[in-house]
Amino acid sequence: MQKITEKISTLGQDEPFYSFEFFPPKTETGVQNLVARIRRMAQLNPLFVNITWGAGGSTSTKSLDLAALCYKELGLTTCLHLTCTNMDKKVIDDALLAAKSKGIRNILALRGDPPRGEEYWTPSEGQEFKHAVDLVKHIRSQYGDYFCIGVAAYPEGYADGSNPEEQDFRLDLPYLEEKTRAGADFIMTQLFFDTTQFVKFENTLREHPSGLFKSIPLIPGLLPINTYQSFIRTAKLSHAHIPESVLDRLNAVASSDDEEVKQAGVDILVSMIDQIYEKTNHRVRGFHFYTLNLERSVALILDKSNVVKSPLRIAGSSPAGTAFDSATSSIDSALASLKFSDPKVSMTAEASWDDFPNGRWGDPRSPAYGEIDGYGITLHVPANRALELWGHPTETSDISDLFVKYLQGKLPVLPWSEEEGLSAETKIIESKLVALNKQGLWTVASQPALNSVRSDDTVFGWGPPNGYVFQKALIEFFVPAETWLQLKKRLQSCSSDTLSYYACNNQGDFFSNMNAQDVNAVTWGVFPNREVVQPTIIEEQSFRAWAEEAFAIWTEWQHLYAKDSRTTELLGNIRDNYFLVSITHHDYVNTGALWEFL
Ligand code: FAD
């Protein structure tokens, strides 16, 4: 038995359960370490695990491989996400066939990114997938009852940022009804922090005149809070409302210590689970964790909650038989006592992955590395707003203007920017960046050098109190091929002891003055009673993975415009004729060194 609904039906009437969501990491070592992590997290006894699918099929092979591994090697009931827009129908059919052949019996049927205009639409055999319901119907027509199908729902209303005033779950209900009638077996929600709103949503569903939602499992999606920055960012991306009580709780500790933020996050999630379980009279008893491939917060929540309980605590001892002494250390020691599948991975590195910011600038060996947009490459803003912001550039000078405006705070986002506006630390080097962008070096990332600043510094600080943090200056930019040739000569005249660089273009031509295995820590911190922590490192694998994505964003941007337009031609030319260059200067004591070179 492997269908989620069948597994739920074997539980006691009020018995709670939980599931974990993972995404396929971008790097090979990230995958290896994620497998080790899922193996450990399997001991927390989730009812099932979900594997995400990159929009447009961008992670199809990786998602399928990871899902098969979870099921076949780790013995976990597995649900594969599948989207249906902006990709060939064949990719969908191949994925369903492969899922079946690998024994996977659960699919979360999703739309994915909004379908692109007619020009980018590739209907095959007259079949058009415009909404998730089309995928549900397709799966049912092709596979009957073989798959248990889940669909997405939005307790605060569907939102992509294009029309905030129309965000109301009642507007989506007819479509949720349609998806359910088409054959959905369970409903899983978008992440949220406002439990009152979720309970209202649940009540409305249960009382729906159709009677359709009376017994279908409704599983709320919960995001563990790992760091303050990632919490704010993900909440923004998902358009989730953050209740004042949650914000106050986090703001009270945000400036002091990242560990306290994590603990506050655990308390917030534990209380959300309590409220949902109680206020729905236990009708909602399954909880889905968007783990972001991190384990510690989830483990702590399961340890502390009275509703969802991990067997590690119930047993009263770790799998290795060690007695637990306190709630927090019990889980930490239990996790630490489990074996790592890759002996090269040390617990020190593992621990810091969970403690500090990850994503694009994290450690590429971490399973959490590279989670930028959640479900693949997007422009961060809906199409109508993107056109409003970036217009119809026809010359490279128009692009330079956009980059300069962003740096000057006159444009809120660029296709590559992760959040609105520059961070406080980047503001410090704003004038230098503006000068470079005016010359046509379009900067997509940078950080100033830093030699020993207190960890509670309001601009640069991170990590536990009474520590000191350090940074090497780095910069990353797009540059035309001919400028790259000149720059390369200058870079080659410098020793790699002075500065290190990577450069590549969309065709895969790659240059560097480092060996493939060389690693540069570019952010590190020294804190009382612990080893040096280095949350950000730069090395070849991560640069290559990011470069692929950075060039793909030009294509995403192109897709906003008509195929034969001048803007499409310009963006395509840039993508195909520019280099992405990353330079790290090693003299972090001389904070002006990188800028003098440039
Ligand atoms: P739909 O059900 O098609 O709804 C999208 C919008 O269209 C809604 O506004 C809806 O009201 C409207 N609509 C629906 N049907 C109709 C209709 N017949 N006529 C008119 N309007 C209609 N994305 C990924 O790329 N990969 C993932 O792995 C992934 N996992 C997710 C997991 C969960 C639990 C959730 C909540 C979302 C996930 N997403 C994922 C994001 C999802 O693809 C996006 O939110 C997408 O924009 C909408 O998907 P949907 O399945 O809800 O679409």
Ligand 1 in reach of 190 Cβ (< 6 A): yes
Ligand 1 in reach of 379 Cβ (< 6 A): no
DSSP state, residue 529:
T
CB 205 within 8 A of CB 186: no
Q: Which of 187, 179, 182, 173 is nearest to 217 (CA)?
A: 187
d(CA 576, CA 318): 54
Residue holding tokens 């994915």? Answer: 112
Angle 345-347-353 from CA coordinates, rounded to 5°: 85
21 is annotated as an active-site residue? yes
Other Cβ atoms within 10 Å of 208 Cβ, number: 15
Residue spans per domain, the chain: 4-308+338-353, 383-597
What local confidence, expressed as pLDDT, does residue 319 receive?
Answer: 34
What local confidence, expressed as pLDDT, does residue 404 receive?
Answer: 95
The one catalytic residue in 6, 21, 259, 371 is: 21
Q: Going edge to edge, which strands form the sheet with 533-539?
A: 450-454, 468-471, 519-526, 533-539
DSSP state, residue 593:
H
Other Cβ atoms within 10 Å of 453 Cβ, number: 16
d(CA 160, CA 382): 6
pLDDT by 10s per residue, the chain, length 598? 599 999 999 999 899 999 999 999 888 888 888 999 999 999 999 999 999 998 888 889 999 999 999 999 999 999 999 999 888 899 999 999 999 999 999 999 999 887 776 566 554 455 578 999 999 999 999 999 999 999 999 999 998 766 767 789 999 999 999 999 999 999 999 999 999 999 999 999 999 999 999 999 999 999 999 888 778 878 877 888 999 999 999 988 876 677 788 899 999 999 999 999 999 999 999 999 999 898 889 999 999 999 998 776 433 333 333 222 233 344 444 444 433 333 333 334 454 556 555 455 566 667 777 655 567 777 878 888 899 999 999 999 999 999 999 999 999 989 988 666 777 888 888 899 999 999 999 999 889 999 999 998 888 888 888 999 999 999 999 999 999 999 999 999 988 899 999 999 999 999 999 999 898 899 999 999 988 988 788 889 888 988 988 999 999 999 999 989 999 999 999 999 999 999 999 999 998 999 999 8
Q: Which two tokens stand for residue 73?
A: 């090697």
d(CA 25, CA 331): 25
| CATH top-level class of 4-308+338-353 | alpha beta
CA of 499 to the centre of ligand 1 (A): 45
List, as own/partner pairs, every contact residues 346-349 make where C-beta atoms lie below 8 angstroms and the sequence separation is at least 24, other chains included: 348/531
Of 4, 58, 175, which is best to mutate to test ligand 1, by the most ligand atoms within 8 angstroms of its C-beta? Answer: 175
CA of 130 to the centre of ligand 1 (A): 10
What local confidence, expressed as pLDDT, does residue 117 receive?
Answer: 63
Alpha carbon nearest to ligand 1 atom 28, residue: 52
Find all residues with CB under 8 Å of 298, minimum gap 6, and list them.
20, 41, 44, 224, 289, 291
What SS3 string covers 92-117?
HHHHHHHHHHCCCCEEEEECCCCCCC
d(CA 227, CA 597): 35
What SS3 string covers 550-592?
HHHHHHHHHCCCCCCCHHHHHHHHHHHHEEEEEEEECCCCCCC
d(CA 290, CA 345): 24
What local confidence, expressed as pLDDT, does residue 235 receive?
Answer: 80
What local confidence, expressed as pLDDT, does residue 334 receive?
Answer: 44
CA distances from 502 to 475, 492, 573, 584 (A): 11, 12, 21, 9
> Which amino acid is it at 266?
V
CB 204 within 8 A of CB 168: no
Q: pTM of the predicted model, to two decimals?
A: 0.85
d(CA 481, CA 489): 13
CA of 2 to the centre of ligand 1 (A): 25
